[in-house]
Amino acid sequence: MDRLKQFAKYAIWIILFWILSDILIYTGINSTYKNMEKRGQLPTGVQVVQMQSTKVNGRIKLNISNPELSGKYLKIDLYSADENILGTQYIEIGNMSESQTKNIETYFKISDIKSYEISVVDEVGETTTGFMDTAMTTMTVVVLVLKLLFV
């Protein structure tokens, strides 16, 4: 019986350590993100929820609520502190109804981004490399680690 109690104590300590480390990692990573500066005016019906970057990457979250933007594209330009364009992405808005709100979420791996500009265009241009549609979820990270360990 004592051995089972000892095992339970170890299991609880491991679980508590795991929870504490997750909290510290989450806080540490999210504290490195800083809000980017806006250049120019946002198009009507486009709301920025989150536009943040670190020294090496960033995340963009937008809400679109204007049905007049159906069939068009959002052009997102990312600028350095020296006003140089470091990245451009075109995102298709798609068809929208009157009461519909579309959420757009994208991520990028481009260094030293300080400001952004969003515009609406009719045609797609060339997108810069470094943009991703989804962040790495916990399950993706676990699968990649397992592949690295066993391959």
How far apart CA 92 and CA 71 sit, in angstroms, is 7
pTM of the model: 0.71
With beta carbons less than 8 A apart as the criterion, state whether 35 and 52 touch. Answer: yes
In 10 A of CB 13, how many CB atoms?
A: 10
Q: pLDDT tens, 30-57?
A: 888 899 999 988 888 899 999 999 888 8
Residues 6+ apart with CB under 8 A from 109: 56, 57, 130, 132
With beta carbons less than 8 A apart as the criterion, state whether 107 and 60 touch. Answer: yes
Domain segments of the chain: what residues? 1-31, 34-137
For the 34-137 domain, the top CATH level (class) is: mainly beta
Q: pLDDT tens, 18-31?
A: 999 999 998 988 88
